[in-house]
Amino acid sequence: MTRWADGTLSVAAAIDRSEAIEKAFDLGAFPVVDPDDLADVYWDMYTRRDRVEQIHPAWPAQ
């Protein structure tokens, strides 16, 4: 079994309850993610160690 480092979680959204979101006036259609969801995704990456990176939320299929 291959063991990787913790990996990279690329966040493709503004993080709710963050300083940046508090200062933003109008995000329009920009996605917003809950930091608890990010923690769950990262924990899953850490414990399973089945991928080295993930984008959250997933990008729409093109």
pTM of the predicted model, to two decimals? 0.74
Q: What is the pLDDT of residues 12-49, one digit of tens each?
A: 898 999 888 878 767 677 888 999 999 999 999 999 98
Q: Residue 45 falls within a domain, yes or no?
A: yes
Q: Three-state SS for 17?
A: coil
Domain range for 21: 8-56
**Which among 44, 40, 52, 37 is positioned nearest to 2, based on CA atoms?**
52
Q: Would you state the pLDDT for residue 40?
A: 95
Amino acid (one-letter) located at 28:
G
Q: Residue 12 falls within a domain, yes or no?
A: yes
Q: Residue 15 falls within a domain, yes or no?
A: yes
**Which among 49, 48, 54, 21 is positioned nearest to 35, based on CA atoms?**
21
Residue 1 has pLDDT above 60, yes or no: no
Q: Residue 36 falls within a domain, yes or no?
A: yes
Identify the DSSP state of 58: P
Q: What is the pLDDT of residues 2-15, one digit of tens each?
A: 455 568 999 989 89
Number of domains in the chain: 1
DSSP 22-36: HH-S--TT--EE-HH
